[in-house]
Structure 1
Amino acid sequence: MDKNLIQRVGSGLIYGLLTFLCTTEYGAILINKISPDLVKPHQLFYGLITFFLVVGAYEGVRIMKFQGNLYQWLVLPLVALVYYKFTTRFFGFGFYYTFDLSEILALSLILIAAITLFKFPQELYQDEGKLIFIVIYTVLPFGFALGLPKYFLNDNAFTWEVFLLFVLIWSSDSFAYFTGRMFGKHKMAPKISPKKTWEGFAGGVFFTLILGYFIEQKFPDLRGNWIVVGLLVSIFAPLGDLVESQLKRTFGVKDSGNIIPGHGGVLDRLDSFIIAAPVVYLYFILENIF
C-alpha cells in the first residue's frame, strides 16, 4: 500500500477519534475512569474547539502573508477578545443562546466576508482587511459551534449535535467525491476547485439527506430536524470548501498547514465546518423560535 495513503488514513482515523471523544461524553468517561471527576464533557468540547480556533487563526496569518508586523501581532489578542465573549456565554449560560441583534450582525459578517473574498479580493490585500477577515472567518464560526449541543449540568448529559454534524460533513464530502468520480461531467467552479462537479454535488445532497433521516430516527433528543440539517450541510459544506480554496488561491498557497499529515492544516480539514456550523446554529435558533 502507498505510504502516503497509509499516512493519510492513519492521521484521518486519529483526527476522527479525537473529534468523537471531545464532542461526545465518551472522552470524559474514558479520562474519568483513570482519574475520577477530572473533566466534564463540555470542557473537552470547549478545549477541542479552542484548539481548532487557535491553530486556524495561526494558519490564517500564514496564508494571508501580512506585510507588516503590527497587524499580524494584533490577530491573536483580537481573536482572544472576541472568543472570550463566546466563552463567557458558554460557561455562564449553558448552550442555549438567544437570537438577538449581536448574533444577527455576527452571522451577517460571515456572509459579508465570504462575498468580499469572492467579489472584492483586493480589499484583503491590505493588512487591516486581513486582520478583520481572519477574526470573522475563524472566531465567529467556532464561537457559534459552542452553541450547537445541549449540556445538562446536573447529570453531565451531553448531546451529539457537533459530532453528528461532522459525520454529515464527512458524508457530504465523501459521497460528492465518489459520485463526481463516477458521473461528474459538469464543473461547479472550475477556476476555484476544478474537481468539483454538479453531479458530485447532487450525490452529496442525496446521500446526506438519507443519513440525516437515519440520524433523526436514531437520535430523537437532538435539537432540530436532522433531515433539514442534512440538507443544510449538503448545500453549505461544499460552499465552505470553495471559500477556503478561494482564500488559498487568492494568496497563492497550496495548504493552510501540515498539522494533520496527509490532510493539510486545520483550515483544510474544517473548511466545510466553518461555514456549515453557523448555518446550522442559525437553524437551531430559528427552529426554537418558531
Structure 2
Amino acid sequence: MREILIRALSGIVYVAVILGSILYSKVTFYIIFYLLMMICLYEFKNLIHLSYKWTMVVASLVYVNFIDIPILDYKYLHFLLIISLFIPLIYQLFKSKITLTSSKLGHYFLALSYIALPFAMLIQIPFIKGIYHPEIIISVFVLIWISDTFAYIVGSNIGKTKLYKKVSPNKTVEGALGGLIAALIGGYIISLYLKEITLLNWIIIAFIVSCFGLLGDLIESKFKREAAVKDSSNFIPGHGGFLDRLDSIIFAAPFVYVYLHIIT
C-alpha cells in the first residue's frame, strides 16, 4: 500500500510540474524542459558511460538555437535532419547489440540525436505562426499518456502476442493496438475543443505519437537491457527516472514538430 501511495504521489507531482511549467508561461516551459533535458542526458550518460561535460555544452547550444528561430524557413531541412539521425537509431533497435556505443563519436551522435535534438524540437511544438499555444503541447502529452496507459491495460488483460520479446518481454501486439486506438479516439476528442488544428490532423498526430512513442520506449528498453538495469535512475520514486517517463515523447516529438509546422 505504501509503495502504491508513493508511486501515486510522485506521479501527481511529475504531471503537475509538466503541466504547470507549460501553462505558466513560455519562459517556464523553456526552463523546466531544459532542466529535464539535462537530467535525461545525465541518466543516459550513466547507461552508455557517456562523457557528460562536453555533451552538456553541445546539447545546451542545440537547445538554445531552437528558441525563437524562424521555423518555417527550415522545416523541410529539419525533416531531412530528423530522418538522417533517427534511421540509425531505429536500425540499432533490431541489431543484437547497439554498435553506436563502441566509440566516443557514437556516444556524441546518440546524445545529439536521441536527447538534445528531440528536446530542442519539442519546445517548438506549441508555436503556430509565432504564437504560443500551450494547449497543443499539453494535448501531445495527453495523447502519449493515453497511448501508454491503454497499451498497458489492454496488454495486461488480453495481450498474448509478444511485440519484441528480446527487448521488452512485457509488450504485446494487442497492447500496442489498444494504445493506438485509444490515442486515435483521444485525438478525435481533442479536435472537438482545439480548433487551431483540424480533426484529420489531430488523428494523424495521434498516430505519430502512438507509433513513434512506442519506438522510443523500445529503444530506451534496448539501452537499459544492454546496461543491465531496470530503470534509467530512481529520481521519481516508484516510476524510475525521467528518461523512463519521457522516452516516448522524446522520440515522437521531432516528428510531431515537423508535421505541425508543415501543415500550419
Pick closer, same or farther for the CA change 1:123–1:91 going to 2, 3 Å.
closer
Contact 1:110–1:136 under 8 Å retained in 2: yes
Identity of aligned residues (%): 35
Which runs of structure 1 show a deviation greater than 4 angstroms over 4 or more consecutive aligned residues? none
Per-residue deviation, 1:107: 4.3
Per-residue deviation, 1:261: 1.1
Contact 1:117–1:247 under 8 Å retained in 2: no
Per-residue deviation, 1:114: 3.2
Q: Partner letter of residue 10 of structure 2?
A: S
Question: Partners in 2 of 1:160 and 1:97 — Cα distance?
Answer: 24
Pick closer, same or farther for the CA change 1:151–1:47 going to 2, 3 Å.
farther
Contact 1:205–1:235 under 8 Å retained in 2: yes
Pick closer, same or farther for the CA change 1:103–1:186 going to 2, 3 Å.
closer
Pick closer, same or farther for the CA change 1:228–1:117 going to 2, 3 Å.
closer
Question: Partners in 1 of 2:127 and 2:203 — Cα distance?
Answer: 19
TM-score norm. by structure 2 comes to 0.91
Question: Partners in 1 of 2:17 and 2:78 — Cα distance?
Answer: 32
3-state secondary structure, aligned to 2:32: helix
Question: 2:176 matched to which residue of 1?
Answer: 201
3-state secondary structure, aligned to 1:160: helix
1:187-213 per-residue CA deviation (whole Å, 9 max, x = no partner) reads 001111111111111111111111110
Question: Partners in 1 of 2:206 and 2:82 — Cα distance?
Answer: 23
Verify: 1:53 aligned to 2:29, yes or no. Answer: no
Using CA pairs below 8 Å that are at least 6 residues apart, which structure has the higher relative contact order? 2
Please tell me whether Structure 1 or Structure 2 has the larger radius of gyration of its CA atoms.
1
Question: Partners in 1 of 2:82 and 2:147 — Cα distance?
Answer: 26
Equivalent of 1:177, from 146, 152, 162? 152
Pick closer, same or farther for the CA change 1:102–1:63 going to 2, 3 Å.
same
Question: Partners in 2 of 1:59 and 1:218 — Cα distance?
Answer: 37
Contact 2:64–2:120 under 8 Å retained in 1: no
Pick closer, same or farther for the CA change 1:106–1:270 going to 2, 3 Å.
same
Gaps spanning 5+ residues in structure 1: where? 28-40
Q: Partner letter of residue 143 of structure 2?
A: L
Contact 1:159–1:222 under 8 Å retained in 2: no
3-state secondary structure, aligned to 1:246: helix
Question: 2:8 matched to which residue of 1?
Answer: 9
Equivalent of 1:149, from 118, 126, 129? 126
- Write out aligned runs for 1:67-78 (5 A): 71-78=51-58
Contact 1:42–1:151 under 8 Å retained in 2: no
Per-residue deviation, 1:219: 1.0
Pick closer, same or farther for the CA change 1:75–1:259 going to 2, 3 Å.
same
Question: 1:128 matched to which residue of 2?
Answer: 105
Question: 1:276 matched to which residue of 2?
Answer: 252
Contact 1:160–1:222 under 8 Å retained in 2: no
Per-residue deviation, 1:4: 1.2
3-state secondary structure, aligned to 1:195: strand
Contact 1:97–1:147 under 8 Å retained in 2: no
Question: Partners in 2 of 1:279 and 1:123 — Cα distance?
Answer: 22
- Write out aligned runs for 1:30-45 (5 A): 41-45=25-29
Pick closer, same or farther for the CA change 1:230–1:18 going to 2, 3 Å.
same
Contact 1:257–1:264 under 8 Å retained in 2: yes
Contact 2:42–2:52 under 8 Å retained in 1: no
1:205-264 per-residue CA deviation (whole Å, 9 max, x = no partner) reads 111111110100111124882111112212121111101000111222221112211111
Contact 2:217–2:248 under 8 Å retained in 1: yes
Alpha carbon RMSD of aligned pairs, Å?
A: 2.2
Pick closer, same or farther for the CA change 1:261–1:144 going to 2, 3 Å.
same
Q: Partner letter of residue 56 of structure 1?
A: C
Contact 1:114–1:243 under 8 Å retained in 2: yes
Question: 1:212 matched to which residue of 2?
Answer: 187
Contact 2:26–2:132 under 8 Å retained in 1: no
Question: Partners in 2 of 1:169 and 1:9 — Cα distance?
Answer: 18
3-state secondary structure, aligned to 1:162: helix
Question: 1:140 matched to which residue of 2?
Answer: 117
Gaps spanning 5+ residues in structure 2: where? none
